[in-house]
Amino acid sequence: DYELCEEWEHLYPVPREDLINLHREHLLHLLKMGDMEKALQLLQRIEDPGICLAISEQSLDQHPNLAASHFLADYLTAHFYADLTTARRNEIQALYMGSKVLLTLPELSRVNYFHLSSRPLLMLEQLLMNMKVDWVAVAVQTLHQLLAEQEIGFTVEDIDSLLSKYAEKALNFPFALKEKRS
């Protein structure tokens, strides 16, 4: 049906909003099916960059699954970086980083942290509070690599500060140990 609509679009004038809605729904369908290659081909077929940007952003705002969010954040950053406001750019990059960190977690646990995908530091803090130290190690390594490549609303120092805070709390004993004397 989507392909038929796309052919129709080439034969008859279609209002811009209807065109955006059509392509957005088609893109979300392809992403839901896990067909990233066809999704990329669809975006590349769209000649108007303004329409392509609108479709990508609206699709991302629909909060699709993890792989789709990661794909869309990566696509928007790669192709429309200069067209985005600084706040929107930081938001999309945070989502990209958060989804990348989520992809390093065991598959069954991802659902527990998906709601934090746009807030990687908060996700890291949640992992620390849940005592998932092995997962934190992988997440920190991933974030360090990503922060070396991109500028975003937080830095490596913020991550180190968070880790130091929780390391200090782990060593803080609320009572004094007393020696037993005989």
| Same domain as 79, residue 20 | yes
| Same domain as 64, residue 102 | no
pLDDT tens readout for residues 148-174? 766 666 778 888 888 888 887 777 666
pLDDT reading at 182 higher than 60: no
| Same domain as 79, residue 97 | no
Evaluate whether residue 180 is within a structural domain: no
Max distance between CA atoms of the chain, in angstroms, equals 97
DSSP notation for 59-128 = HHHT---HHHHHHHHHHHHHHHGGGS-HHHHHHHHHHHHHHHHHHHS-GGGHHHHGGGTT-HHHHHHHHH
In Å, what is the CA distance from 144 to each residue of 51, 84, 147? 34, 24, 5
180: confidence class by pLDDT, cuts 50, 70, 90: low
CB 81 within 8 A of CB 89: yes
Evaluate whether residue 182 is within a structural domain: no
| Same domain as 112, residue 100 | yes
In Å, what is the CA distance from 123 to each residue of 41, 89, 138? 33, 19, 13
pLDDT at 27: 92
pLDDT tens readout for residues 16-61? 898 889 889 999 999 999 889 999 988 998 888 998 999 999 999 8
Q: 61 is in which domain, residue-wise? A: 1-84
Total number of domains constituting the chain: 2
| Same domain as 94, residue 37 | no
